[in-house]
Structure formats: C-alpha cells, structure tokens
Amino acid sequence: MDQTIIATALPTIVSNLGGGKNYSWIGSAFLLAAATLSPLYGKLSDIIGRKPILYTCLIIFLIGSALCGAAQSMVWLIFCRAVQGVGGGRMIQMIQIIISDIVTLEERVAFMLLVPFNANHGINAVPHRCFWINLPTRGAAFFMLFFLNVSTQETKPYNEHLREFDFVGLFLIVAGVVCLLIGFNYSEVSWSSMETIVLVTIRASLLVISSVHEALTKKSAIIPRRLFQTRTTAVLLITVFLHSATFFPGAYYLPVYYQILGASPTGAGVRMIPFSFGAALFAIISGIIVSKTKDYRMIMWIGWAIFTLGYGLMTMLDSHSNTYVFSSPHCAFRSQFMITHDLAFSAMKVLYPFVASFGIGSLFQVPLIALQAAMPRKDVARSTSAFGFVRTLSGTVGISIGQAVFLGTLRRRLQKIPNLSVSTSSSALSESVRHLSEIANPNQRAEIIQAYTKSISSIWLVCLPMIGASFLMSALTFIDTEILFGNQAYHTGSKSL
C-alpha cells in the first residue's frame, strides 16, 4: 500500500519539494535499502528468532514513515525513504518466512494470498504527508504481533553465523547496483557521458567479480549456489528479477501518465484501481488454482503471456487515448458518435493496464511457492531471503531504467517542437508534469503533452523484450516440472545445469 500510494503522489511531491532530477531515487532508495539488509535479516532471524526481527523492522519503518511525512526537501525525503526501506522491505520477507515456518506447503499458498494486497490513493494537499497513513495501520499491526507465537530453533551460535556470513559478496552486489543506478541517473543527460560509461563499466566488472566470488566462496553465499544448480530454480530467480524490473516501472509511471493528461493525484489513484486491485485479485485467483491443481506451471505460462499482451497494448497509450473526435456527415448523430468513441478510447487507459495486471498478479506469489517447493525444508528461509533480495534489487533497477527512458526519449521529442517554451533539464521535466495544462499556446500544449505520453509508452516498449524473454524461459524450462504437495515431500523434476 505504501509503495502504490507514493507512486501516485510522486508528481505532486516533486512539484512541491523540487529536485525533479532525483525523481527515481524516491522509489529506488526504499528498494535498495531493503535489498541491502535482506540476507542479514534472514540470518539474524535464524539466530534470535522471527518476532524480534519483525518487531525491529516494524519500528524502523514507523520511524521512517514519520520522518518522510515531515520532509522539507527532496534530499531529506530520499534519506528517510531509505530508512523506511530498512524496515519496510523486510517486513514482507519476514511474514513470508513465518508463514513458511508454521504451515505446510499445500496450505502456504492460501496464507500468502493476503500478502500482495495494495491500494492507490492520491493526496492533493501536502502530498508527502501521505506517508503518515502508515502510522495507524502499522501501529495496529505492532500490537497484533503480541499474539503471534513462532519459535525458531537455533542450530549454530552467533559467532559461527558471523564467521560464515559473506560480507564481501554483499558489498560487491550492492556496490554494483549503486553504480548502476547512479549511471542510469547520469544517462538522463547523455548515454555517452563519461560518468555514465564509467559507472556502467564498473557495474559490469563488479557483476563478474561478484558472480565468481559467490561461486568460489567457502562462506555462506548471499544467493545460495544450490539455487542455480538446477534449471528450474535458476530460471525462477531470473524471471523474478525480470518481473520486478518491469512491474515497478508500471506502478511508478502509470500514475504519471494519468497526471500528464490532467488528472489530480486523487484522480490518478482512482484510475490506478484496475491495475493495483486487478493484480491483487489475480494473485488470489492464481493461488487458489495452484492450491487446487498442485501445479504452478500453467499459471506462470498464462501469466507471462498475458503480461506481455498487456504491456504490448499499453505501448499504444498516448494523449489521443483520452479523447477522440469522430466526424460524421449525419449531424444529428454526430454528438452520439463523439460520446461513444470518447468513452471507448478513454476506457483504453484503464482497460489495457487491467489486462497487464492479470499477468502481474499471477506472478507475485506463485514463483515463491515454486522456489520453496524446489528446495529442501531446511533452506526455506534462505531461499525466501534470496527471493526477496532479487526482487527488491531488480525493482531499483526497473525504476531507474524507467526514469532514464522517460527523460531521455522525452528530451529528444521536445527538441523537435518549434519555439519550445519548456525547459528540458531533467529536474524541470519531472517537476512540470503537474503544470502542463497551464501552457498558454493550445497547439504547443497538445504537442508537449503528446511527447510526454509517448515517452511514458517508451517505458512499456523497453519492458516488452524482458517480459517476452521471461515467457519463453518459463515455457521452455518448466515443461517437465511437477510439484507434489503434502508433508513437505515435493519434487520438481528439474535438471542440473
């Protein structure tokens, strides 16, 4: 709920606080901080128990939410979002681990259906105060945790866990992601700039080094090697990465599209309901189907196929999807035709994202169930941590890619408009989203709005190959894979790499 509310309010937040060039960091800071401590929390929960870690995460998240609501500048807000991420990102992971501890694999699907629920709202006045909505809801959760009874058997002393933890691997992975994100930030100015080339090159080098290190280290690897020793688990993690890297741009930039067309933050939140509620609804439906059929393969095949279709349809959205004038020689019926076509084309703005939400929702929890089914029970906590680690890291990459694509293509489109009266700096382009309707020249205003909406569509176009590749990988990899539920005896039929 926090992430979807923030995504809707972001254009107004940036307009009020300034710092538009750091737009993507409001989301990336949260996800990056969440990913950084993900493996550490997973191990600590094995040592001191699940509830203390869950309580700690909840308190940190509440503090971060309070500070975000009081933010007076963009830098302050980004820092506080990172504090939120330290706690908020791990709450979901700990809940998934606790569910895995207390219920069987067959029953686990039904319990995890409750995790993906979210909501979209917008706040017109003082929009960054929307962070405070977390205080009463998480405060209620704080007291409800008193009734949670979870016991974790400690198998190793703390010092031994500390000696085995792969701090070097964690540093290499996070440093690489930070370099990539900053590189994408510079790419908004120019992909050929020295800063972009150097940072992306460093990221590529760190990726190779971290991969070699994770393969050779004798310590407990951040991402367990055995997750990549079978074809099924390896492809599952790759598709999870691509799912998150393509879902988060939709969650963050679809509200921007609606506000470019003139919707208020509240109006954008209402238009986002089919996308967010649809994802939650189809997550529930897919979970019920998996629990009944004991087979996740078909859900993933259908999910990726419809996800691809949905984003393909969304590439056609632009400013003309909002209005359509139909010209008819029969004047008596002209108004009726105009209304009918206007409604039809306006429906595209919510119908196409709703189609995408079918695939998105189907792929939230099902891959986690498949991953846990493919691993021994003793590795459930670690595989769940790896799942969350990959998902949050890829979310940071996806948001940054979306911002780079949006600003890069927008700048080129605006440069083609004669007598342009809008600044094309990264900061100005992000901050002007809420003020496009104030442009005096109607022809120029229409051209600028069209350029903005087409640049949003470019994000979906960039995401399409990644979604299509995931569909092909899932279709070719899981063709001989089967899950057998019951008493934690399950088999994937996967082959070693």
Q: What is the DSSP string of 396-465?
A: HHHHHHHHHHHHHHHHHHHHTSTT--S--SHHHHHHTGGGGGG-S-HHHHHHHHHHHHHHHHHHHHHHHH
pLDDT category at 487 given cuts 50, 70, 90 is very low
* pLDDT cut 90: percent of the chain above it: 11
Per-residue pLDDT, averaged over 426-435, amounts to 73
SS3 at position 468 = helix
Beta bridge partners of 496: 230
Q: What is the pLDDT of residues 242-268, one digit of tens each?
A: 999 999 898 889 988 988 888 887 788
- Contact criterion met (CB below 8 Å) for 248 and 399: yes
Is residue 490 pLDDT above 60, yes or no?
A: no
Determine the pLDDT at residue 477: 67
Determine the pLDDT at residue 27: 76
Chain Cα centroid distance, residue 361: 12
For residues 142 and 127, what is the distance between their CA atoms, to the nearest angstrom? 25
Nearest to 393, CA basis, from 1, 36, 104, 48: 36
Lowest mean pLDDT among 41-45, 324-328, 372-376: 324-328
Q: Which amino acid is at 23?
A: Y
Nearest to 224, CA basis, from 232, 215, 212: 215
Determine the pLDDT at residue 322: 53
**496 phi and psi angles, rounded to 5 deg:** -70, 150
Q: What is the pLDDT of residues 58-74, one digit of tens each?
A: 888 888 888 888 878 88
Determine the pLDDT at residue 466: 94
Is residue 418 pLDDT above 70, yes or no?
A: yes
pLDDT category at 32 given cuts 50, 70, 90 is confident
Per-residue pLDDT, averaged over 169-186, amounts to 75
pLDDT category at 375 given cuts 50, 70, 90 is confident
pLDDT category at 483 given cuts 50, 70, 90 is very low
The residue that leads in pLDDT, 1 or 141, is 141
For residues 95 and 425, what is the distance between their CA atoms, to the nearest angstrom? 42
Is residue 446 pLDDT above 90, yes or no?
A: no
Task: Give the list of residues 6+ apart from residue 443 with CB closer than 8 angstroms, or none.
Answer: none
* CA angle (444 as vertex; 429, 438 as ends), nearest 5: 60
Lowest mean pLDDT among 132-141, 225-234, 329-338: 329-338
Instruction: Sketch out the chain's domains with CATH numbers.
Output: 2-165+220-480 (1.20.1250.20), 166-219 (no CATH)
Per-residue pLDDT, averaged over 18-46, amounts to 73
Q: What is the pLDDT of residues 263-300, one digit of tens each?
A: 887 788 888 888 988 888 888 888 788 877 777 888 88
Per-residue pLDDT, averaged over 110-134, amounts to 53
**Mean of the per-residue pLDDT values for the chain?**
75
Nearest to 226, CA basis, from 39, 371, 96: 371
